[in-house]
A and B are shown apart, each in its own frame.
Chain A
């Protein structure tokens, strides 16, 4: 599954990573604790979180995460967007909750990775 497909299917707002939309997603992980993501999220996963500060970009780069979905209508800080553009990290946002997003992606065939 590609980022392009989930953006389209769920009408996610693609905030950064216009060019990264063909990146393959190999699984999913939901967490708001950064150390937990560092420890357990797998390469190529989509990361669902309500964290929106710049440090999520470093976590995504280090773990080679395919993309970040920020939930509950939270808006990333300006620095988060700038960093994500520089580091080629795709960030999407949605009004929906983490539960709903994870449920929808699971329904599309994605599975949790850890």
Chain B
């Protein structure tokens, strides 16, 4: 069982709100910096948070992003209500995107979001139910180890 978090914060994300998109990720970054988390870990978590937040903004109706800091790891959980992902394996392929032309013109939809998250996480879990929503779990270990027994 997971021990109690030393710090936990939750943020709401509104689908389609491109103006405020990224603010939750900025707040998560600031929070981690304030409590003195290693700057490389803050940077990795900020990238993962941003990509996950933008996915909610672009594709879902709404969602929540929760950061939990434990003694030996940081867990970021993003859960949304939305269309879900039909084929997760396909969605994980670099370059694959279902973004609209309008999103692509804004510089989104490069098909790098989920691969970027995976690259920066020590553990990455994604589950989705079509017509319901998607949930991501992103863990970064604080003890500098890539894997754990």
B18 contacts which of A35, A49, A54 (Cβ < 8 Å)? A54
Q: Are B26 and A35 touching (Cβ within 8 A)?
A: no
| Interface check A32, CB cutoff 8 A | yes
Looking at A57-65, A67-75, A96-104, the stretch in contact with chain B turns out to be A57-65
Distance A32 CA – B46 CA, assembled complex (angstroms): 19
Q: Is the CB of B113 within 8 A of A79?
A: no
Q: B96 at interface (Cβ–Cβ under 8 A)?
A: no
Residues in B with CB closer than 8 Å to A58 are 21-23, 25-26, 50
Chain B stretch 46-92: residues in CB contact (< 8 A) with chain A: 46-47, 50-51, 54
The 8 Å CB contact of B47, one of A39, A51, A53, is A39
Asked if A108 is at the interface of the complex by the 8 Å CB criterion, the answer is no
* Contacting residues of chain B (100-122) with chain A, CB-CB under 8 angstroms: 106-108, 110, 112-113, 116, 119
Any B CB within 8 A of the CB of A34:
yes
Distance in angstroms from B47 CB to nearest chain A CB is 5
Residue A36 contacts which of B23, B29, B50, B112 (CB distance < 8 angstroms)?
A: B112
* A1 contacts partner chain B, Cβ-Cβ < 8 Å: no
Complex CA gap A63/B50 in Å reads: 10
Compute how far the CA of A35 lies from the CA of B94 in the bound complex, rounded to whole angstroms. Answer: 11
- Bound: A87/B108 CA distance, A: 22
Chain A residues whose C-beta falls within 8 Å of the C-beta of B113 in the assembled complex: 35
Taking a contact as CB atoms under 8 Å apart, the answer to whether A35 and B110 are in contact is: yes
Is A35's CB under 8 angstroms from B108's CB?
yes
Across the interface, name the chain A residue whose C-beta is closest to B24: A58
Residues of B within 8 Å of A39, CB to CB, are 47, 112, 116, 119
Given contacts A33-B112, A55-B106, A62-B29, 7 further A-B pairs with CB under 8 A are A34-B106, A39-B112, A39-B119, A55-B18, A57-B22, A59-B22, A62-B46
Residues of A near any B CB (own CB < 8 A): 32-36, 38-39, 43, 49, 51, 53-55, 57-59, 61-63, 79, 87
Top 4 closest A-B pairs, CB basis? A58-B22, A35-B112, A33-B110, A34-B107
The residues of B with any CB-CB pair to A shorter than 8 Å are 18-19, 21-23, 25-26, 29, 43, 46-47, 50-51, 54, 106-108, 110, 112-113, 116, 119
